Amino acid sequence: MEEGVTIWFTGLSGAGKTTLARLVEAELRALGHKVEVLDGDIVRTNLCKDLGFTKEDRVCNAQRIGFVCELLSRNGIVVIAATISPYRQVRQEVREKIGHFIEVYCKCPLDVVIKRDTKGLYRKALDGEIMSFTGISDPYEEPLAAEVILETDKETPEHCVEKLLEKLKQAGCLEEAHEIRTAQ
**Catalytic one of 13, 85, 132, 137:** 85
Which residues, 6+ apart, have CB-to-CB distance to 93 below 8 Å?
63, 66
Q: Which candidate, 6, 31, 151, places its Cα nearest to that of 81?
A: 6
pTM of the model: 0.91
Task: Decide if 160 contacts 152 (C-beta within 8 A).
Answer: yes
Report, as ranges of residue numbers, the positions in the chain whose pLDDT lies below 50: 1, 177-184
Give the CATH H-level superfamily of domain 5-172: P-loop containing nucleotide triphosphate hydrolases (3.40.50.300)
CA 120 to chain centre: 21
Interatomic CA distance for residues 128 and 122, integer angstroms: 10
Task: Decide if 26 contacts 161 (C-beta within 8 A).
Answer: no
Interatomic CA distance for residues 35 and 28, integer angstroms: 7
> Residue 42 has what pLDDT?
85
- In the chain, where the domains are located: 5-172
> Residue 174 has what pLDDT?
73
Task: Decide if 117 contacts 123 (C-beta within 8 A).
Answer: yes
- The 10s digit of each residue's pLDDT in 22-31 is 999 999 999 9
Which residues, 6+ apart, have CB-to-CB distance to 96 below 8 Å?
none
Strands 101-107 and 5-10: parallel
13 carries an active-site annotation: no
> Residue 44 has what pLDDT?
76
